[in-house]
Amino acid sequence: MKRAALAIVLGLFLWAPCSLARAQGEFALDEQEIGAEPPAVASRVRQYVPALPGKPYGVKDLPEGLSDDVIYYTMRPGRKPILLLADLGETPKLYVDTDGDLNLAEERPLEAVKPPGEVVMAGMSIHHFGPVALRVGADGAAVHARFQVTVWEGGGGYMEVHPGVFRSGQVELGGESYRVQLVDGGFDGHYDRTIARSRSEYDWLAIDLDGDGQFDPRPYESPEILPLTKLLRVKDAFYSVAVAPDGSSITLAKAEPALGALDVGVPAAQLTVMSDSGYFVLGGSEGKWDLPTGRYVTRGLALSATDEKGDRWVLRMGSKLGKLSTFRIREDETTSVKMGPPLTVQTDARQASRGQVAIGLSVTGQGGEEYTAGVTKNGSTGSPPKFKIVDESGKVLTSGAVEYG
């Protein structure tokens, strides 16, 4: 089968059937605390925790001197949920049930800290706590998770959980050195969770592929921050990836995955897809790409075109993915899933309030995929479309411009 070249080299891939060649070695990763300016890879990981309606059943003793302004939360950094209590009185404090016995009276409180230069919205107060150190290993195993907590006072009092530490180091691939970072995406003290094992709480790996000292997300180019996978592509070579559970090291070995192909029939298509066989951002190559075998889920898509003036127009994914929602790649076979033009445009109108009409607009491709109504030009959204309302005879009753939202 003739192979379509990958127009964009796409970072990290999950394990596919492959043969291993010479090992590249094991590389140490150092633990570093996350300060006021977290690394880019850490921004990919957060957990939103809603406030509980009141004190949970089974809670034993509470700390003395609590104010009347307390909020309870439960989160799950490992197999077992833990209880947290935020006291937002005169001196905000956070109590964490570190031993899981539902007795908060014995826990040492963490006092809130305020990052310098923080801007807070009107009517909201933000309280930062941490880092929290927690033993989460099964059967008493000494596995420790470290994370930070942010409590929003107002707007429902929800809580955000962020990583407290990350791993960092250098790896050698193909005779070149690359800086890497790794973050615990499940807040469970483990760093080896891949998207093959978990669809939502996988860990994240960053690699500085271009050597510019930055980890660039670049969602529609070659990304450098991606979910942890079992296969890594650097330039034209594949490497298997194995991370020590505690994140202390990463081991890389040369590999050759079994491949199939995806053909969407649209040269201007851009897709982000994920599966047990890999995570890819695809573009160019006349809409046909080689992929490791496996079942894929589409996470994003777009259509782009450049006009005679050199302006770039992009139409991005809406709420529906149609036939591209899932697909399977088989070895030495081409999977064809058509998308894009011809596009079907439909509108619907309803009275939103007195004197106002809401007009909905849907743009659908031939694969049933839906696009947002607002097209971008050179990265900016254009002016809202204008409209006219006419009667049966063609007389213009009114005209104006649509307002987004």
pLDDT at 115: 63
- Residue 331 predicted with pLDDT over 90: yes
CA 285 to CA 293: how far, in whole Å? 19
pLDDT at 315: 80
Classify residue 205 as left (phi > 0), alpha (psi -120 to 50) or beta: beta
CA 158 to CA 149: how far, in whole Å? 11
- Residue 309 predicted with pLDDT over 50: yes
| Helix, strand, coil tally for the chain in percent (to 5) | 5, 50, 50
CA 93 distance to own-chain centroid: 30
Tokens for 15? 């394990």
- Residue 117 predicted with pLDDT over 60: no
Window from 301-315, 332-346, 355-369 with minimum mean pLDDT:
355-369
Q: Name the most confidently modeled range: 19-28, 161-170, 311-320.
A: 161-170
pLDDT at 107: 92
Asked if 221 contacts 284 with a C-beta cutoff of 8 angstroms, the reply is no
325-338: b or e for each residue (b if 16 or more CB lie within 10 Å)?
eebebeeeeeeebb
Tokens for 120? 């807070």
Summarize the confidence of residues 278-305 as an average pLDDT.
84
Rg, the chain, Cα only = 25
Backbone angles phi, psi at 373, to 5 degrees: -70, -25
Q: Which of 95, 181, 192 is nearest to 143 (CA)?
A: 192
Q: Which of 262, 361, 261 is nearest to 315 (CA)?
A: 361
DSSP structure string for 105-116: TTSPPEEPB--T
pLDDT at 70: 92
If one compares 169 and 120, the residue with the highest pLDDT of the two is 169
Helix (H, G, I), strand (E, B) or coil at 285: helix
Asked if 233 contacts 223 with a C-beta cutoff of 8 angstroms, the reply is no
Q: Name the most confidently modeled range: 130-139, 183-192, 231-240, 272-281.
A: 183-192
pLDDT at 284: 78
Taking only the tens place, the pLDDT of each residue in 73-88 is: 998 876 778 899 999 8
Order across the sheet with 176-183: list the strands: 30-33, 165-173, 176-183, 204-207, 225-227
- Residue 136 predicted with pLDDT over 90: no
* pLDDT bracket for residue 230 (50, 70, 90): confident
Backbone angles phi, psi at 303, to 5 degrees: -120, 140
Tokens for 284? 């160019």
Window from 10-14, 157-161, 208-212 with minimum mean pLDDT:
10-14
Q: Which of 14, 19, 10 is nearest to 253 (CA)?
A: 19
Q: Is 139 exposed, middle or buried (0-12, 13-18, 19+ CB in 10 A)?
A: exposed
Q: What separation in angstroms does the CA of 284 have from each of 271, 275, 393?
A: 10, 21, 48
Taking only the tens place, the pLDDT of each residue in 47-76 is: 889 999 989 998 989 999 999 899 999 988
Average pLDDT, the chain: 80
* pLDDT bracket for residue 321 (50, 70, 90): confident
Q: Is 121 exposed, middle or buried (0-12, 13-18, 19+ CB in 10 A)?
A: exposed
pLDDT at 219: 59
pLDDT at 9: 34
Q: Which of 103, 94, 101 is nearest to 127 (CA)?
A: 94
Helix (H, G, I), strand (E, B) or coil at 322: helix
DSSP structure string for 8-29: S---EE---SEEEEEEEEEEE-
In the chain, what are the domain boundaries? 18-34+36-43+165-257, 51-157, 344-401
Helix (H, G, I), strand (E, B) or coil at 149: strand
Length of the chain: 405
* pLDDT bracket for residue 214 (50, 70, 90): confident
- Residue 148 predicted with pLDDT over 50: yes
Q: What separation in angstroms does the CA of 91 have from each of 19, 35, 71, 149, 391?
A: 59, 22, 14, 16, 66
**Cβ contacts of 362 within 8 Å, gap of 6 or more:** 318, 345, 346, 347, 370, 373
DSSP structure string for 216-256: ---TTS--SEEE--SEEEETTEEEEEEE-TTSSEEEEEEEE
pLDDT at 308: 80
Summarize the confidence of residues 277-297 as an average pLDDT.
84
Which of the 8 DSSP states describes residue 284?
-
pLDDT at 22: 39
Q: Name the most confidently modeled range: 95-109, 118-132, 223-237, 372-386.
A: 95-109
Task: Give the up-direction half-sphere exposure of residue 247: CA atoms within 13 A in the CB hemisphere.
Answer: 30
First to last CA, the chain: 48
